[in-house]
Structure 1
Amino acid sequence: MPTFDLQLDILIIGAGPAGASLAAFLGQNGLKGLGIAKDRATAYTPRAHGFNSFAFVTAECLRDIGLEDEGLRLAIRGSPYLSMRYARSLIGEEYGRVRAWGESTNTTATLKEITPCEYVDLTQRHVEPLLIRYASHHNFDVRFSTELVGVERVEPSDSDGSVFICTIHDGILNQNFRIRTRYLFGADGGRSHVARTLGFKFNTTSGGPKACNVLLRADIAHLLPPERHAGLHWVVKPDRSLFPGVVGHLRMVRPYNEWVMVAFGAGGSNPFEGFTTESPELVACVRDFIGDDSIDVEILSIDPWAVRESVAETFSDPGANVFILGDAAHRHPPTYGLGSNTCIQDAYNLAWKVAYVEKGLAGKSLLESYNAERQPVGATLVRESNLQLRRNSELWEALGMAAPSPEEGKKQIDELSATSAAGVARRAKLHEALEGKRQESESLGVAYNQWYTSDAVYLDDEGGPRPVLQGDPIVEVQVSTYPGSRLPHVWLDISTRGRSISTHDLAGKGAFTLFVGVGGDPWRTAAKNIKNATAIPINVYGIGFGLNYIDPFRDWRKKRGVDEDGCVLVRPDRFVAWRSLKQSANCEEKLLYILNKVLSRDEL
């Protein structure tokens, strides 16, 4: 056996959204471990922004570990910041606007129906410290300037699975040390050392366009009346003499003096290749985007990146206790705003399963459900986000950005105000292109409709397959308690106190939740007996007249999918594990059978 300096049960490589949230959720479930990151600190550049409430990650998962209020305090809130606008510059002529997410009249009501949270703009810079602080307060140490430089998988005789000897470089002391760990989690981004070293295979489409993020300070509050507030200010100027062909947007990081300019170059190039924060041309480009040459601009950082279209064929090797998550497993453009949200969902799905196995509450096969459930989600997001990005070409063509020269681009965009047949055609083309963007801006379904099928979901009691979703699955949502679905959000009143609480607030927190109705006492007794006998945490809540909670708007009655004497069993990650339409002849025997199946307890 190789020598080592430190022995752990859990080692997480990476402390970005995926790694930090995994440490937090494992800590929530009572496990201990170490997270390392080669960076000196948490992210400073904004990177991910929109933590969509309909993505059910940052908002709802922070809510589950008691951090939602602090996240909201740090976030930019309000519907004016949710739209996408297209203009000649920040203050120039506007060509169109698309109401997005919480501002769209088509999604506002649906958002209120499916989540207790709100859409917010919360940058990666602000969410990472929250997660790391929580993790460090819950048994997880996090070390920065600490890099994984080697991994050796070994099969010791005294273990029932693989262990890993990891060579770690301490960037402060400039020396290496070795860690022996039973679990290894690769949350180390798109160039994952874990994924590359341990042979994870990827389905990849190469040749994506390049782009560049420019973080900057510019006080432009006086240029932004409420009518110009938006989440993304896309700047369209086909006759631009400086950086011709460049298209991009300005997004506010902090009101109203810190911004990020995201730019794509002509032909898929990085428009700022070779530039530094001191390059006067870069300042000139920012001023051109703003539309005011007198603005003082300070460039803080330049962060080039490339559009990726890659997803791992498998996210885990549970027999070896190695897992990849976040960008280490799926790489895609920021379309739909679900990048960090999906990273955190991976962690939320995985953490409780590892905890249950480690506590002896579940068999090791439960860990196989992580890949079965999350790999299809990652693959779908990679595919759909790249498809949506490519659809932008229709918009750029309508606005003259695809013209072969600045002169031709000016001619095309001037057609928008022409009375000619060409003007009619140009306006119609722009209208269709902007209407097409509504799929992205109203994309509740791509996040909500993440239905799980695995051995951690019990389907044998269902009378048939999941009902077919009507409409566009990217836009429309299917609210259901069909096993594998998200727990429906419903506002309930506490019958003895008269205040509202969401079904989501009753579920989660590392425990199973059983919802019952009038006549559900046998299920309640069954859950209590099973909890006492097995130590599986199960919380039981009655919804109905005379029970724990009342259903004043009758929403739970409409969504529960079972009779009053039936039940709905929800996993710790707030996904439905199983439901019973009616009361069973032997509720305890039935519920124990389901839990044994879902948790692979036959292996214990």
Structure 2
Amino acid sequence: MAALECLRDIGLEEECLAQATASQNMEHTRWCHSMAGDEYARIHSWGHDPHRHGDYADASPCDHVDLPQTLAEPIMVNRARQRGWEIRFSTALLSFDDQGPKGVTTTVKEVDSGREYAIHSRFLFGCDGGRSQVVRQLDLPLLKKPGQGIALNVLVETDLSHLIKSRLGNLHWCIQPDRPYPRWGQMCIVRMVKPWHEWMFIVLPEPGWDPKIDKEPTNEEYMARIREWIGDDTIPARILGTSKWAINEVVAEQYSSSSNNIHCLGDAVHRHPPFNGLGSNSSLQDSYNLAWKIAYYMRGLAGPNLLSSYSIERQPVGLGVITRANQGLRDHLACWTALGVTEPTLEASTAAFNELKAPTPGGAARRKAFKDAVAGTAREFHAVGQEMNQRYDGSPGIYFDDETEPRPELPEDPVLYHQISTYPGARLPHAWLNTRRPGTPISTQDIAGKGRFTIISGPGDGNHQWKAAAEQAGKTLGVEVKCVSVGYACDWEDVYFDWERRREVEDDGAVLVRPDRFVAWRAKAMPNDPGRKVEEVLRSVLCLGEAGKQVNGAT
């Protein structure tokens, strides 16, 4: 949801939704013997639990959708080209030279021709994945925990639409404890890519299997195992591609060079399995956080310390992501144990698996263990808190000085539950708004963003003072500051009174929102001189210091 909000802000939401699998097709995650065979259990996922749906609806105007990188990347590449960017594929990074105030010179090589050449730029962004050369050359310190082995991806074209009506979901664990298996293919997750004819079979080998030592499967061996996981030999299937990846638990201690000329994003600085669906989503939010800061700095509207805030704000998020994603995988161990997967022999696995059906105390205990294990995966499939509870503490890009109380504690389970707050450094709360004569509703998220600062004020005479303050401060600093009033007889009507419940300021107070829709500052009531106060806060958030900068960037 949070990543889709970023795409919504830059006008790409509709195009993404047109390519994505809709939320209603992601209703369940299942555990089964095969796609066509027996089902052991299922769990509501991604906000579809009737007991949790409201938590998701309160958190965001966007719904969960499934948009694989293979479909998302062309959308973003096309947008970049439309904005004048040149995209060069089949080009390898060789090295770079950080030249301080002069920028960065990067040497690259055309893979097809072998031609090498240099590119000079003001900044270099290392978005080069889990084997990031940029991170290596910068020698960014990495926090590492032991990995959890290797996984194999097999992209398969097979039409399973006739099976899905009664098995609706985008993730299906295929586990066969009562059957022999090759060491490279103990079990798999069948992940929908394109409904319902393209699937990724994410194959988990037996612990200890190593492709550097053990023979990798051929396509014929892959297909034989995949047919067992499909469970119906009459269904045509074709392998489109294979790959392998390491199940890592790695995060960089910092994301940027000391010069702030080089910034790393995405898998380059946080490497983890895809559990909780946090990978590309976090990468998009890294980019969204950094983009406006680079733009303001390049236009002379912000000081260099604002660039430092990128790593300060996003590194703790990345640490949380890799921790949660790896714990999500570990949470499944209890399911495997209850099903008999972890037994040392096929005979023992089969006996444990069959015990699930037994009308005995042992059977009852195993069934309860499996039920509890499935419930224990909720932090993967209902983790609205993990998605939305980012809090930017200790950042120069946030103004905390007017807060008289510490930040409220997160919910008892911050993975499962989202804390809605306007405390500086929190996400702007979502609330539906409309006009006095109702039209199409919009979110508070929609009145902010768009590359500018936004002041959200309330009803009454105060909103006129806030509008004047926004205009005055914006003119002085050369930045766009939009002021929008929300409430009775305001620019936007608070139709459900949700904003009033969530804003945590008085009618004559206001909330200042950064271009990335995080709260920069709030005034719980009208200050004595709102124009001067808004300018003071903006100077601080933009790291301009006392003298500030002229619009042209000269000091």
What range describes the TM-score normalised by the shorter chain of this pair? over 0.9
| 8 Å contact kept, 1:215–1:260 | yes
Q: Distance in 1 between matches of 2:349 and 2:391?
A: 45
Give how far 1:220 is off.
2.5
1:130 corresponds to? 75
Distance 1:337 1:268, change over 3 A: farther
In the other structure, the counterpart of 2:336 is 396
Runs of 5+ in structure 1 lacking a partner?
A: 1-52, 156-160
| Cα deviation code 1:459-512 (max 9, x no counterpart) | 111121111123201001100101100001111012355331111111111000
Answer yes or no: is 1:82 the counterpart of 2:22: no
Deviation at 1:383, TM superposition (A): 1.5
Retained in 2: the 8 A contact 1:211–1:269?
A: no
Q: Which runs of 4+ in 1 moved over 4 A?
A: 270-276
1:71 aligns with 2:12: no
1:250 equivalent to 2:195? Answer no
Match of 1:218 among 151, 158, 162: 158
Deviations 1:317-355 (A, max 9, x none): 252411111011111111110100000110000000011
2:199 counterpart SS class: strand
* Equivalent residues in 2 for 1:100-139, closer than 5 Å: 100-139=45-84
State which drifts further: 346-355 or 163-172.
Answer: 163-172
Query: 2:128 touches 2:267 (CA, 8 Å); kept in 1?
Result: yes
Contact 2:431 2:443 in 1 (8 A): yes
Q: Which amino acid aligns with 1:575?
A: F
CA distance in 1 between partners of 2:260 and 2:446 (Å)? 35
Q: Distance in 1 between matches of 2:475 and 2:215?
A: 65
- 1:51-84 alpha-carbon deviations (Å, 9 max, x no partner): xx2xx01x11111111111111111114342311
In 2: Cα distance, 1:286 partner to 1:482 partner: 50
Distance (whole Å) between structure 1 residues aligned to residue 108 and residue 292 of structure 2: 27
Which deviates further from its counterpart, 205-214 or 360-369? 205-214
Q: Structure 1 residues 585, 320: CA separation in 2 closer, same or farther (over 3 Å shift)?
A: closer
Task: Identify the residue that residue 375 of structure 2 maps to in structure 1.
Answer: 435
Q: CA deviation at 1:423?
A: 0.4
Contact 2:26 2:46 in 1 (8 A): no
1:403–1:409 Cα contact (<8 Å) kept: yes
Contact 1:484–1:575 (8 Å) recurs in 2: yes
Deviation at 1:546, TM superposition (A): 2.1
Match of 1:337 in 2: 277
2:463 pairs, out of 517, 520, 535, with 520
Which whole-Å CA distance do the structure 2 matches of 1:385 and 1:78 have between them? 21
2:478 equivalent in structure 1: 535
1:484 aligns with 2:425: yes
Bigger shift: residues 506-515 or 383-392: 383-392
Task: Find the partner of 1:360 among 291, 300, 311.
Answer: 300
Where does residue 26 of structure 1 map in the other structure?
A: none
Alignment partner for residue 565 of structure 1, among 492, 503, 508? 508
Give the direction of change, closer, same or farther, for the CA distance of 1:531–1:207 in structure 2 (3 Å limit).
closer
Secondary structure at the aligned position of 1:234 is classed as strand
Equivalent-residue separation in structure 2 for 1:291 and 1:176 (angstroms): 51
Equivalents in 2 of 1:144, 1:378: separation in Å? 27
Paired with 2:441 and 2:43, the residues of 1 have a C-alpha distance of: 34
1:184-214 CA deviation, whole Å, 9 max, x = no partner?
Answer: 1111111111111122111112342111010
- Show the counterpart of 2:553: none
Tell me if structure 2 keeps the 8 A contact 1:211–1:270: no
Identity %: 39
SS at the partner of 2:349?
A: helix
Cα distance in 2 for residues equivalent to 1:305 and 1:173: 29
169-178 or 368-377, which deviates more: 169-178
- SS state at 2:87 partner: strand
Whether the aligned pair in 1 keeps the contact of 2:313 and 2:392 (CA below 8 Å) is yes
Secondary structure at 2:181 match in 1 = coil
* AA aligned opposite 1:499: T
Matching of residue 169 in structure 1 with residue 114 in structure 2? no
Counterpart in the other structure of 2:444 = 503
After superposition, residues 96-495 of structure 1 pair within 5 angstroms as 96-155=41-100, 161=101, 163-224=103-164, 226-243=165-182, 246-269=186-209, 274-275=215-216, 279-317=219-257, 319-453=259-393, 454-495=395-436
TM-score by length of 2: 0.95
Q: Over the residues paired in the alignment, what is the CA RMSD in angstroms?
A: 1.6
Deviates more, 1:232-241 or 1:581-590: 232-241
Give the direction of change, closer, same or farther, for the CA distance of 1:498–1:221 in structure 2 (3 Å limit).
closer
What is the alpha-carbon distance in structure 2 between the residues aligned to residue 386 and residue 482 of structure 1?
30
| Contact 1:162-1:319 at 8 Å conserved across structures | no
Letter in 2 for 1:583: M
- Distance in 2 (alpha carbons) for counterparts of 1:494 and 1:299: 52
- Quote the offset at 1:148 in angstroms: 0.8
The equivalences for 1:3-22 within 5 A come to none
> What amino acid does structure 2 have at the position aligned with 1:485?
A
Structure 1 residue 533: deviation in Å? 2.5
Amino acid at match of 2:526: Q
SS in 1 for 2:42: strand
SS of residue matched to 2:484: strand
For the residues of structure 2 that align with 1:351 and 1:313, how far apart are their CA atoms? 21
Contact 1:152 1:164 in 2 (8 A): yes
8 A Cα contact 1:216 1:258, kept in partner: yes
Q: Does 1:585 align with 2:528?
A: yes
Residue 312 of structure 1 and its aligned partner are, at CA, apart by 0.6
Unaligned runs of 5+ in 2: 550-555
Deviation at 1:222, TM superposition (A): 2.6
Q: Is the 8 A contact 1:163 1:320 kept in 2?
A: no
Residue-pair matches, total: 542
What secondary structure sits across from 2:136 in the alignment?
Answer: helix
Q: Compare 488-497 and 436-445 and name the one that shifted more.
A: 488-497
Identify the range of structure 1 (532-541 vs 504-513) with the bigger mean alpha-carbon deviation. 532-541
The alignment's TM-score, normalised by the length of structure 1, stands at: 0.87
Counterpart residue number, 1:30: none
Q: Which amino acid aligns with 1:363?
A: G
Q: Cα distance 1:176–1:271, how it changes in 2: closer, same or farther (>3 A)?
A: closer
Compare 198-207 and 438-447 and name the one that shifted more.
Answer: 198-207
Is the Cα–Cα contact under 8 Å of residues 107 and 444 in structure 1 kept in the other structure?
no
Does the Cα contact within 8 Å between 2:150 and 2:246 map onto a contact in 1? yes
Deviations 1:273-311 (A, max 9, x none): 6546x6322111111001112222211111111101111
Q: Is the 8 A contact 1:494 1:501 kept in 2?
A: no
Distance in 2 separating the partners of 1:318 and 1:131? 29
> Counterpart of 2:231 in structure 1: which amino acid?
G
